[in-house]
Amino acid sequence: MITTTFLLLLMAFEICYLTSKQYKQTNPPAYVATLVSNKNQFRIGALFLLFVATAMLVVNLGWASGIATLIFGLMAAGSLIVSLQPFRYFRVATIAAVYFAILLLEIFI
């Protein structure tokens, strides 16, 4: 459950980063062009993902721990997105492989 929550935080932060004015990249992938053309819709979707992740953390961990974990998760997602996005390490296959590997660790350990 925690892994899914952090995946939602990562997706929400990446959408917010890609639709911001600071993001400039030459020859962006096709999904980025779709995000940029519908900025407001995707920002609302990112806000919805953030609210869902917040609710999941608060339900699982309680108010104080959930909000603290949300803040730490947002800082971690932000540093990953900002530092690795220019190198284009975030592909769907890469994120899915890492997600399922960590999900298996969460389930079996």
Q: What percent of the chain has pLDDT over 90?
A: 65
71: tokens are: 């803040």
Nearest to 8 by CA among 79, 99, 106: 99
pTM of the model: 0.88
What would the pLDDT profile of 61-108 be if each residue is shown by its tens digit? 999 999 999 999 999 999 999 898 878 777 888 889 999 999 999 999
Cα 47 from Cα 53, distance rounded (Å): 10
Domain ranges of the chain: 2-108
Task: Give residue 85's pLDDT.
Answer: 83
